[in-house]
Amino acid sequence: MKTWKNIVILVALLAMLSPAAALADDEKPTVAFLRFGQSPAFALTDKGVLDVLGAYGFISEEERLVLYGGGDLRGEHINLLYRDAGFDLATASLMVEDALDEGADVLLTISNQVGMIAVNAISDMDDPPTLIFAIVTAPYDTGLASAPCVKPPNVAGTQMLIDASEFETTRTAQVPWLTTFGLVLDANDPGSLSAEETLRAYADQYGLNIEVATAITITDFAQATNSLLDRGVEAIVLPPRTGSAAGVLGVLDAAYGVPVFSAMVTDVFIGVPFGAGFQGWYREGVIAGRMVAHLLRGELDVARTGISTTPGYAVAVNLDAADAHGVEATQAMLDVADFVIEGGLAAEGTLEIPGVNTELTELTLEERVAADAAFLADLHCSDEMIAEQQAALDATDS
Lowest mean pLDDT among 51-65, 94-108, 163-177, 291-305: 163-177
Query: What does the DSSP 8-state code read for residue 150?
Result: B
pLDDT tens-digit readout, 311-351: 888 899 999 999 999 999 999 999 999 889 988 765 555 56
- What confidence score (pLDDT) does residue 114 get? 94
Pairwise pLDDT comparison (278 vs 114), residue with the higher score = 114
CA distance to 145, 353, 376, 391, per residue, from 384 (Å): 18, 41, 18, 10
Query: What is the full DSSP assignment across 329-361?
Result: --HHHHHH-SEEEETTEEEEE----TTTS--PP
Q: In what order do the strands lie in the sheet containing 30-35?
A: 73-74, 79-84, 30-35, 106-110, 130-136, 155-161, 308-311
Q: Hey, which of 26-30, 147-151, 166-170 has the most confident mean pLDDT?
A: 147-151
CA distance to 23, 44, 70, 119, per residue, from 65 (Å): 18, 16, 9, 30
Look at residue 113 and tell me whether its pLDDT is greater than 60: yes
Chain centre to alpha carbon of residue 101:
25
3-state helix, strand, coil in the chain (%, to 5): 45, 20, 35
- What confidence score (pLDDT) does residue 311 get? 80
Pairwise pLDDT comparison (169 vs 241), residue with the higher score = 169
